[in-house]
Chains A and B, each alone.
Chain A
Amino acid sequence: MLPEQADILWTYMTLAYTLFAFYVFGNVVQHCRENERVNGKLWGGIFGVFAVISFFETVHMFDLVQGEQITFMFQYQVLTVLAILLTWGIFFKSQDIQNQSPPIIRAFFFWSTVSICLAGYTNWLPQQRSDPPPKAAAVSEDLTMEEFVEMGRVIVFGAKQVAGQKSIGKGQCPLCHTFDPGDHIGRCPNLFGVQERSEKKKDEERYQTHPMKIGDPEPATGIVKGTPDQVPEEYRRAGSPDFIGEDYLRESLMCPTCYVVKGYGNDGDTKSPMPVISKPPISLSPVELNAVIAWLQSKDTPGEFANVTVPLPTAGSTAEEAPAEDEERPVFVTGNEPIQDMINTLGCPLCHTIPGVEGAMGALGPVLHEKTNAPARMKDPNYKGSAKNTKEYVKESILNPSAFVVFNEEAGEAYPDGLMPTTFSEMLSVQALDKLVDFISQTEAPPEG
C-alpha cells in the first residue's frame, strides 16, 4: 500500500471489530430477553453505545491513511474492543449467566492475535525495499575517469550500503564474487588481482583450449572466443584487433562460458553458472559494461587509473539514470544518502529554514535551531510530549509533529498544526531517522557577523 492509501489489514480489522461490537450487542440483548431478571435497558444501552462508538471509529478509520490508521487502531479501537470484552465478562459474571461467549469469538481472537503477532514480527525485522533498476537514458555530459570508475563501482555494489550487510548493485556481482584478498565465499572466483591476470590470460594454455578453443563461437551468446573484433558492434572496442586484458574482462562478462576458471564451472568445468551480463536479467548497456571493466581494472590501485584502457563515454552515450517515474513513487530514505540529499528528498526545506542545508529557507514552519530551541520548548507549560533531551524532542517532532506546536512570535500565533506530514515513519529507515535526528539536534543559529 502507498503511504497515501488506507492499509488493507487495519481496514479489515476495523470492520471485524465493529462486527464484533454489534455481535456482542446482539448477544447481550438476547440474554436480556431470555432472563427477565436482567436489566435489559441498562445493559443493552451500554453495549449499544459500545457498538456505536466502534462504528464511528470504523468510519473514521476510512478517512485515515495507513500511517495514521495503525496509530488510531492501537490507541483507540483496540482499547474499545478490550473495554467491550471486559464489560461483557462483567455482564456474564454479574448476571450469573452460564452460557457465555461462543467458541467462534474465542477462536477469532486467537486467530487474529497470532496472525497480527506474525505481521508485527515481520515489521520488527530490518526493512529493505528493492526498486527495479532504471532504464537506459543518455549521458548528458562528459565524465572524468574517477567518476566513470565510481559508476562501475555503483553498478557492482549499489549506491546504498547497509552496515553489516553486503550491498549488491545492479550487476549483482557480490552475490557470488569476492573482491578482497583472502575473502572467499566459494561460489565464484575472487576478483582481487583480476586486472593483472587479465593481461596474461591470452598466453595461458588453459585459456587457449578450455572449454573451447580460441576462434570457436559460443552458441548461447554468439561470442567468438578471443576475437575482440567480432564482439557485437555496440560493445566492441575501437583500435587494434589484438587481444588485451580489457578484451578478456569484456569477454568474461559477455560470454562467461568462453573460459571457466578451474573448479568453478558446471558439467566438468565446461559451463559457467554466471549469467551473461549484457543480457537479461542484468542487461548492462555498453557504457555500463565499460564502467564495470574500468572499475575492475583500477580497483586494486585506488586513485590510480593508469591501468584503465576503456575509453570514457561521450555525451549522448547510453547509460543509466534514475527513472522519470521515481517522482511518483513513495519517498523513502535509507540513511545511506548524504544528509543534504536526505533532507531534500524528504522535502523539509519547503517549510523549514535549516542551517547547514543549502537552499533550506522555508518559512511555513519554525526555523530549525534545535540545539538551542529544543531544551526551552521541553520546559514550555504547553509541551505535552515525553521527550527528555534534545534528540528525543527532535525525534518526537518528526514522528508526531502535533506533540508540540511552536508559537510563531513574528506572526503572533502558533504555526498551523497538521501542516507537517505525519508519515515520516513510513519514509525513514531506523538508520535514516537516527541520522536525521543527529543532524537536526545540532542545528543552531549561525554566529552573527
Chain B
Amino acid sequence: MLGKQTRRYGTLSLALVMAFAIYLMPAFVTDAMAKEAYAGQAFAEEAFAKEVLAEEAAAEGEGEPEIEWGQDVFYKDWEGNPLKGPVSGHPAPELGESDYNNYEFAPSRMILWMANQQHLYFGSFVLAVPIFCMLIEFIGIRTKEEDPIMSAKYDRLAHDLMKVSLTAYSWTAILGGILLFTFITLFPGFFKYMAGIFRPVMHVYALMFLAESGVLYVYYYGWDKMSADPFLKWIHCSLSVLLNLIGTVLMYLANSWATFMQAPGGIDEQGRFLGNIWHVIHSTLWNPVGVHRILGNIVFGGGIVGAYAAYHYLTAKTEEERAHYDWVCYVAMFICIFGLIPLPFAGYWLMKEVYAFRQQMGITLMGGIMAWLFIIQAVMIGLLFFGANSYLHNGMSRVKGAHRYMKYAKYMILLLIVCFTMWMTPHTIVMTPAELKAMGGAQHPIVGHFGVMSAKNTAVNLMITTTVLCFLLYQKANKKITVPWQTIGNCWLTAIFIGAAINIIFLGVYGYFLPANVRVGLSVPQVTTTLTTLFVGTAINISMFKDSESYGEIQWGTQSKVGTYAIFLLAISFTWLMGLMGYIRSAVRLFWHVTEVVRDNSVDAYTLTIGEAGKMLTFNTLFVWTQFVVVFWVASLTVKKGAAQEPEAVPVPAQQQQ
C-alpha cells in the first residue's frame, strides 16, 4: 500500500525540506557570522528606545527615572559605543573564604574538574551517537532495495549503537547531577551568581532534557515496531533528526554557561545583568564553541565506537562477528576522520573570536603560559596521524590488489616521522643560565630553525597531505581502473601531490625570509594547497572508479592486530586531546571565574603546572574509559538475555554455515 507512491511522496517531501533548509541557510550563516551587527541593530535599537523613553519621562518631570542603565561589557551599538541596557540583576559578588568549601582529600578545583570532564565526555558521546545513528539508518533505508543485506547490516549497527547510547544517557544524567551538586556544595558563591543570570536558561535546559529523554525512548523502543512498515521507518528516521535537534539545543544551552564565563556579554562591568537573556547566551564565543563541539563530538564518538568495535573484533568468536566488527571499525574511523578534517578550521574560528574578544587572552594561549600546552596538542595531533595512517596501512593488507601500493607505505611512514619530529621541536625551552650559555642563545643554532612556525606549518601540512594520499590509495586498492583517461587521471593525481609538496615546502622556506607578521599569512596558501589535494584528489580518484573492475571484495574480518590497536591509540589520543583542549579553553581565564567580572579568590586560583594538568588528564582519560567499559558491559547484558530467551538467534558458527 505504501510502496512506490509513498516513495514518490517521500522524495517530494524530502526535496521540499531540503529546499527550505537551503533557503534558511543564509539566514543562519549571516546570523552566525555577523552577530555584532545583529546586536548593534536589533538590540541597540530596543535599548536605545527604552533609554530615550526613560529620559523623556525624566524630562517631563515625572521624577528620576526608576531604571538604572548599565554599559554592556561586550555588545556595542551601531556607533561602536558600549550598548546600554537596564540593570536587572545584582552586581557580581566579591567572593571570600565563605564562598568556597573543600574536602581534605583533594582541592575543590580538581574535584570540579573531574566531575565536569566526566560529564562532558559522556555528554559528548551521547550527543554524537544519535548523529551516527541518523546517518547510518538513513543510508540503510536508502540502500534497502538495492542491497537488502547491507541495509539490514546498517540498521543493526545503528540499533546496536543506540542501545549502548541508552545506557550511557542515564549515566550522563547521573554525572550531570554530580556536577551540579559539586558546583552547589563547593562553589556556592559562584554558582549563586551564575544561577541568578542563567535562571531561565537552566529551566529550559531541564525541560529540553525531558524532551530529549522522551524522543530517545520512543526512538529506541519503537525501533523494531516501526521498522516493519516503510512509512513508519521514515517517521522513525525523522525521530532521529528531532533527537539530534534537541540534543544540539541542549548542548548549545550548556555551552552558553561556559562561553559566558570565558567571554561574557549581556552584563555591565559590575557583572549586573542588563535584561537581555539572549545577549548573555549569545556571547562572542558561543557559535564557534558550538560548532567546534559538534565536530569534536563526532570525532570523539567515532573514536569510542571504533574502540568498542575493535575490542569486540578482538574477542569475536565467529568469522561473521569478526567481519561485522571489522566493518564497524572502518565505518567508525571513516566518520571520525570525516569530523576531524574540518575540526581545525572550527578551532581557527574560535581562536579568531578569542583574539577579537581580548587580544591578551589569545596571546596567553598561543604565546604565554598556555603555549606549551599547544606543543602538547601538536604531539597529540601527530599521534592521531600516526594512528590513522597505521590503521590504513594495516587495513590495506585485507584488500586484494593493495600489494600495488603497499611498497609506498614505508616512504610515507618515513615522511611522517620526519614531519612529526619537526612538528614537536620546541621554539625555546627553559634552561639554566649555564645551559643557555653553552647553547649560545635561547635557540639552538641548527635545531632552533625547526622550532618556528614556518617549519611547523610545513610539517603539519605535509603530514595531512600524506594521510590524504594514504586514504586515496586505500580507496583504489582493490579497484582495477578501466576509464579511458586513467593515465591522464593518474598523472593529474601525481602532479597534484608532487605540486602540493613542492608548494608547501617552498612556502615554508620562503617564510624564513619574511618578517613575522607577513609570514603568518603564508599559512593560508599552505592550508589551501593541502585542502586542494583532499578535495580535488578525492574527486579525481572517485571519478576514476567509474566502471572499474574489482580485484575482489574487501576481506572483512582479517584486519591485523596492529591495525586494531591503532584504533585504540586513536581513541586514547582523542580522549586525552579532548581533555587537554577543554583544559586550555577553561584555564585561559586564569584567576577569573567569569573573565574580568567575578574573580576567583579561592586557594585554587593558580594555573597548574603542565605536569599537574597532564596527570589529571591521564586520570580523566583512564577513568572515563573504565566507565565506558562498564556501560558497554551493562548494554551487552541485554543481548545475552535476549540470546538466552531466543535460542534461535544464537549465531551459527561459520563452519556450520558452510
Contact = CB atoms under 8 A, between A and B. Distances in A.
A406 interface: no
B82 A220 contact: yes
B314 interface: yes
Contact of A110 (B80, B568, B617): B568
A8 B616 contact: yes
Contacts of A106: 314
Contacts of B89: none
A163 B82 contact: no
A171 to B, nearest CB: 10
Interface string B358-369: 111001100111
A286 interface: no
A291 to B, nearest CB: 20
Interface string B427-438: 011111101100
B303 to A, nearest CB: 13
Interface stretch (B55-63, B242-250, B281-289, B596-604): B596-604
Interface string A1-12: 110011111001
A125 B606 contact: no
Name B's interface SS: helix
Interface in B307-330: 311, 314-315
Contact of B621 (A115, A131, A132, A185): A115
Contacts of A164: 428-431, 436, 442
Contacts of B626: 16
Interface in A149-182: 162-165, 168, 172, 175-176
Contacts of B621: 115
B114 to A, nearest CB: 7
B576 A118 contact: yes
Interface stretch (B44-52, B103-111, B195-203): B103-111
B510 to A, nearest CB: 17
Contact of A115 (B315, B516, B603, B622): B622
A329 interface: yes
A8 B114 contact: yes
B372 interface: yes
A110 B515 CA distance: 45
B91 to A, nearest CB: 13
B622 to A, nearest CB: 6
Contact of B618 (A9, A104, A219): A9
A176 B392 CA distance: 44
A37 interface: no
B617 A119 contact: yes
Given A130-B607, A176-B363, A280-B597, A103 B614 contact: no
B615 A168 contact: no
Contacts of A123: 610-611, 614-615
Contact of B614 (A6, A119, A130): A119
B612 interface: yes
Contact of B608 (A13, A129, A133, A325): A129
Interface in B9-48: none
Contacts of B629: 104
Q: Which among B368, B428, B609, B615 has the greatest number of chain A C-beta atoms within 10 A?
A: B615
A107 interface: yes
A226 to B, nearest CB: 20
A187 B363 contact: yes
B614 A8 contact: no
Contacts of B618: 9, 115-116, 118-119
B619 A12 contact: yes
B349 interface: no
Contact of B430 (A6, A163, A168): A163
B360 A132 contact: no
A186 B517 contact: yes
A41 B358 CA distance: 69
Given A121-B379, A130-B369, A280-B596, A112 B516 contact: no
Contacts of B194: none
Nearest to B515: A186
A35 B53 CA distance: 91
Interface in A392-449: 430-431, 434
A280 B594 CA distance: 11
Contacts of B572: 111, 114-115
B592 interface: yes
B15 to A, nearest CB: 44
A122 B611 contact: yes
B590 interface: yes
Contacts of A172: 360, 364, 368
Interface string B365-380: 0011100100110011
A303 interface: no
Interface residues of B, number: 73
A186 B610 contact: no
Nearest to B618: A119
B565 interface: yes
A281 B592 contact: yes
Contacts of A26: none
B140 to A, nearest CB: 29
Contacts of B609: 127-129
Contact of A431 (B269, B430, B623): B430
A8 B619 contact: yes
Contacts of B105: 5-6
B591 interface: yes
A328 interface: yes
B625 A131 contact: no
A273 interface: yes
B532 interface: no
A25 B568 CA distance: 27
A302 interface: no
A65 to B, nearest CB: 11
B606 A132 contact: yes
B106 A8 contact: yes
Contacts of B358: 275, 281
B622 A112 contact: yes
Contacts of A126: 372, 429-430, 610
B363 A118 contact: no
B610 A132 contact: no
A381 interface: no
A185 B429 CA distance: 19
A102 B315 contact: yes
Contacts of A33: none
Nearest to B114: A8
A281 B315 contact: no
A214 B227 CA distance: 75
Interface in A74-130: 102-104, 106-107, 110-112, 114-116, 118-123, 125-130
A1 B107 contact: yes
Contact of B610 (A12, A110, A125, A271): A125
B110 A8 contact: yes
B363 A175 contact: yes
A279 interface: yes
Contact of A103 (B311, B429, B436): B311
Interface in B439-484: 442
B432 A163 contact: yes
B81 interface: yes
B504 interface: no
Contacts of A122: 376, 610-611, 613-615, 617
A68 to B, nearest CB: 15
B399 interface: no
B418 interface: no
Interface in A236-280: 267, 271, 273-275, 279-280
A163 B596 contact: no
A212 to B, nearest CB: 11
Given A107-B314, A118-B614, A164-B436, 4 more contacts: A8-B114, A106-B314, A132-B590, A219-B81
10 contacts: A110-B565, A111-B572, A118-B617, A122-B611, A126-B372, A127-B609, A172-B360, A175-B368, A281-B592, A430-B432
Closest 10 CB pairs of A and B: A122-B614, A132-B591, A280-B596, A126-B430, A123-B611, A186-B517, A119-B618, A130-B607, A127-B609, A103-B314
